[in-house]
Amino acid sequence: MYSRSSCSQWGAAFPLAMRKRLDTGTPAAKPVPGIIRRWALLSFFAIALANMRFSGIPDLPGWGAALLQIVGWGCFCAMFMRFERLSANANRIVCFTGIATAVALMAAARLIWHAPVSVYRSDIIILILANMALFGSLTWLFTRNDIRARLAILVLLVALRTGAGVEGSWTQALWDMTPVPWLFRFDYLKYLCIIIPGTIAGDAIFAAMQRTPGKETEKPNRPVSIGILILTAAIFVTNMWGLFTRHLVWNIVLTLVFGFAAMYMLRKERSNQHDLYVSLFGWGFFWLVTGLLLEPFEGGIKKDHATFSYFFVTSGLASMTVMMAGMAMRQFKMRFNWLIECGQNPMVAYTAAGFLIMPALRLLHPSPLLSFFAEIGPWGEVLHGMVITAAVVAVTVFFTRKRLFWRT
């Protein structure tokens, strides 16, 4: 699930990261070298992540594997952190030191402990994100002022992938083409079906951020906001129920009813963020209905192998989630500080469990605690997962509050 949610998040991040500089006169080609560097670094990260999971190597004791994984996590910190007190050149030296140390660890693991280190082993989620960082950034960069061109690319991509399903066709040959299979597959481009909707949401968020804040033209109508939130939540519940239980007709009928009702109520919403809410919900509703109409295709909505229905349903629900969170925070002073801080450092959260917390636990040998979880039964696994998740959140929040961001 992480790859799909992160694709949507990254899609929204492209306009936020690049639009302001480009609007002040920066040439469109100037960000391209940085985009390529990010793709190369993330691709290396994907390979290193898979090859530096040293547990289970017969020639390497458990404590040694745990220690090496913690050292590997330190390498990742060096690769991606940019320290404010250091100059740009000093930060580059730190980054290259992290890369060189990671390469040395993998070489030692292969030559000394006979670990199966290979470029063909990679973390597929990060490898997909690396390719989306490249192709998604370039797609937004050269269509940033023409949403129709961006949608045209999406339509052509859908047409190409649909044609690739025809056995023996040239479109299948193109889609299956993998010039460097350990680094890029044409099939990865299907994730642009999440990236492109994300960029549209990002454009709307950026536009809202640029508006001069002022007093509300009318006092926000709290009952209207509550009604919108309830109707949007009903869409989520309906789709969780309808898609899981396969009540597909009832699902799309109720989704349309709740969706049009929410759009009607949005017309009465009078906050300064009205245009943003309308855009996020409107596009989200469009993507969701598109996904539901495609649900019978490719054997139904599936995560693996991901279908068009999955791409568009998740994109639509993600856009609605942003709208709900913004409205709840504005109208009801709700705060999601921990979630926001984790979202600001997603790669720390992604790697902390496997490369820091679990290896540290193996070194500390907390056998009484593990025995306690085992004795509880099935609920012990749930509690164990909650404890690890809480530890991941704590580590990520600590890094974020110390402004130790992984610049991925």
Cis-peptide, bond into residue 305, ω within 30° of zero: yes
In a domain, 392, yes or no: no
**Residue pair 95/79 in contact by the 8 Å Cβ criterion:** yes
Domain boundary among the residues 334, 367, 382 is at: 334
Measured CA distances, 137 to 65, 133, 315 (Å): 37, 6, 17
Q: Clarify whether residues 249 and 282 are in a common domain.
A: yes
Q: Which amino acid is at 398?
A: F
pLDDT of 103 above 90: yes
Q: Clarify whether residues 196 and 261 are in a common domain.
A: no
Lowest mean pLDDT among 148-152, 349-353, 382-386: 382-386
CA dihedral 186, 124, 280, 22 (to 10 degrees): -70
pLDDT of 246 above 60: yes
295: nearest Cα among 250, 260, 340, 357:
250
- For residue 1, name the pLDDT band (cuts at 50, 70, 90): very low
Domain that holds residue 243: 211-334
d(CA 16, CA 29): 17
In a domain, 341, yes or no: no
- The residue assigned the tokens 């994907």 is 46
Q: Clarify whether residues 320 and 176 are in a common domain.
A: no
d(CA 303, CA 292): 14
Instruction: Say how many domains are in the chain.
Output: 2
| 158-169 pLDDT, tens digit each | 999 999 888 989
pLDDT of 407 above 50: yes
**Residue pair 21/93 in contact by the 8 Å Cβ criterion:** no
d(CA 127, CA 175): 18
Q: Determine whether 257 is exposed, middle or buried from the number of CB atoms within 10 Å of its CB (0-12, 13-18, 19+).
A: middle
Q: Clarify whether residues 280 and 194 are in a common domain.
A: no
Percent of the chain with pLDDT over 90: 53
Q: Clarify whether residues 121 and 244 are in a common domain.
A: no
Q: Between 154 and 179, where is the model more confident?
A: 154
* pLDDT for 121: 93
Domain boundary among the residues 186, 210, 234 is at: 210
Q: Is the pTM of this model over 0.85?
A: yes
Residue 340 CB coordination number (10 Å):
13
d(CA 228, CA 331): 12
Q: Determine whether 95 is exposed, middle or buried from the number of CB atoms within 10 Å of its CB (0-12, 13-18, 19+).
A: middle
The secondary structure of 349-375 as a DSSP string is: HHHHIIIIIHHHHHHH--HHHHHHHHH
Gyration radius (Cα) of the chain, Å: 23
| 55-90 pLDDT, tens digit each | 777 778 888 888 999 999 999 999 999 888 889 899
Domain boundary among the residues 194, 210, 226 is at: 210
pLDDT of 270 above 60: yes
| 328-369 pLDDT, tens digit each | 887 777 777 888 888 889 899 999 999 999 898 888 876 566
pLDDT, mean over the chain? 87
